[in-house]
Amino acid sequence: MTPYLSKLTQRGREFLGSDLAIMGGAMTWVSERKLVSALSNAGAFGVIACGSMNTDLLRAEIKATRALTSKPFGVNLITMHPQLDALIDVCLEEKVSHIVLAGGLPPAAAIARAKNGGAKVLAFAPALVIARKLIRSGADAIVIEGMEAGGHIGPVSTFVLAQEILPNITDVPVFVAGGIGRGEGMLAFLEMGAAGVQLGTRFVCASECIAHANFKKAFLRGAAREAQTSTQIDARFPVIPVRALANDGTRAFMDKQREVIARFDTGELDQKAAQLEIEHFWAGALRRAVVDGDVETGSVMAGQSVGLVDKEQSAAEILAELMNEAEAALKRRG
C-alpha cells in the first residue's frame, strides 16, 4: 500500500482493526461464516448478516466464524427484529467487536446497550440530518449507502449522499457503500473524506461464497441496467424498493400486484389483506435464489456494480485487485 493510500485509509483501518478499510456488505444467506472469515483473513472486515436468525442461530454462526478466523469481524443486526436486544446481548457475550445496526433508525437504547457492553456501533444514515441524530445517540461510525446497492435501498445515489454527508460529518468515521466495484471508485470516496468503503455485490462471486452456482452465474452474466428496483404500481399499496436482477419473478410480481388491486377494487379483499398478499409474494424468494439456485422466480438481489463482476475469484484476489486498481490510478496521476 502506498503511503498516500495508507494515510487515506488509516482512520478506517484503525476503527475496524483490519489491514484494509474495506467492509463486506451484510447479505442475507450470503454473508455467513465462510465468506466473512475469508474477507477478514484476507485483510478486510467481514460482517455476518444476522437477517431473521434467532439468538441460537446467531450464536452458532459467530462461534463458527471465529473458528475460521482470528481476525476482527462484525455482525449486522436488523433494527426491526423482534429480538433485537437479545441479539445484541449474544454479540456482547460472544465478544463481537463491532455491531452494525441496519434496516431502519436504531433506537438510542439499542445503541447504548451495545456500547455499554463494549462493542463499537455502526449505523446507516440515508441523510445528513439522520447521520447527526445517530451520532447524538452514540453511534461510533456511520455507513452511507446509495440506491445503486443491492437489496433494500433508499432513494438517493451514493455520489449525492457522499457530497451531502462527507464534508459535514468529520467527528466519526464514515464508510461509503453502494455501486462500488473497482479500486478507482473506492479511491474517489476516500479522497472525498470517507474513512473506508463497504462492498457487497463484488464479493458474491468470491470462491469462498456459498451461494448456489446458478446465483453466481446470474451475477457473471448480469449488466448494470438489469439490476432494477421493484416497481410499485398503486400508491395505495406501498412496495418497499429492492434492487435485484430482473427475471420471471420480477414480471410475475407486477402481475400479482395488478391481480390483487383488481380484487380489492371489486371488494373481494380489504386493504390489509391485499397489502399482505403483495408483501408475501417475495417471502422466501431470496433463499430460493441464493441457496436453491432458482434464479428465474427467486429474488436475485444485486447492486448495479454487478456489471463489474466478470469472474469468480478468491476473496484475497478480489481485495488485491481493488487495491491494485486504486494504486494504479494514483500512479497514473503521478
Confidence at 158, pLDDT banded by 50, 70, 90: very high
What's the pLDDT at 247? 96
Q: Can you list the domains of the chain with their CATH numbers?
A: 3-206+310-333 (3.20.20.70), 223-301 (no CATH)
pLDDT digits (tens, 9 = 90+) for 169-220: 999 999 999 999 999 999 999 999 999 999 999 999 999 999 999 999 999 9
Q: pTM value?
A: 0.94
The per-residue pLDDT of the chain, averaged, comes to 96
Q: Which residues have CB under 8 Å from 82's CB, separation 6+?
A: none
- The count of other CB atoms within 10 Å of the CB of residue 2 is 12
pLDDT at 64: 98
User: pLDDT tens digit string along 15-69?
Assistant: 999 999 999 999 999 999 999 999 999 999 999 999 999 999 999 999 999 999 9
The conformation of residue 281, written as its DSSP 8-state character, comes to G
Phi-psi map region of 209: left, alpha, beta (phi>0 left; psi -120 to 50 alpha): beta
H or E segment and range at residue 206: none
Instruction: Please report how many Cα atoms fall inside a 13 Å half-sphere around the Cα of residue 317, on the Cβ side.
Output: 9
What is the per-residue pLDDT across 256-285, written as a single tens digit (0 to 9) for each? 999 999 999 999 999 999 999 998 899 899
pLDDT of residue 240: 87
Beta strands in 202-315 (DSSP E): 227-229, 242-245
- Whether 70 shows a pLDDT value over 80: the answer reads yes
Query: How long is the chain?
Result: 334
Query: Cβ–Cβ contacts within 10 Å for residue 41, how many?
Result: 17
Pairing of strands 242-245, 151-152: antiparallel
Residue 334: pLDDT band with limits 50, 70, 90: confident
**For residue 169, which amino acid is it?**
I
Please spell the DSSP secondary structure of 288-325, one letter per residue: HHHTS--TTTS--B--GGGGG--S-B-HHHHHHHHHHH
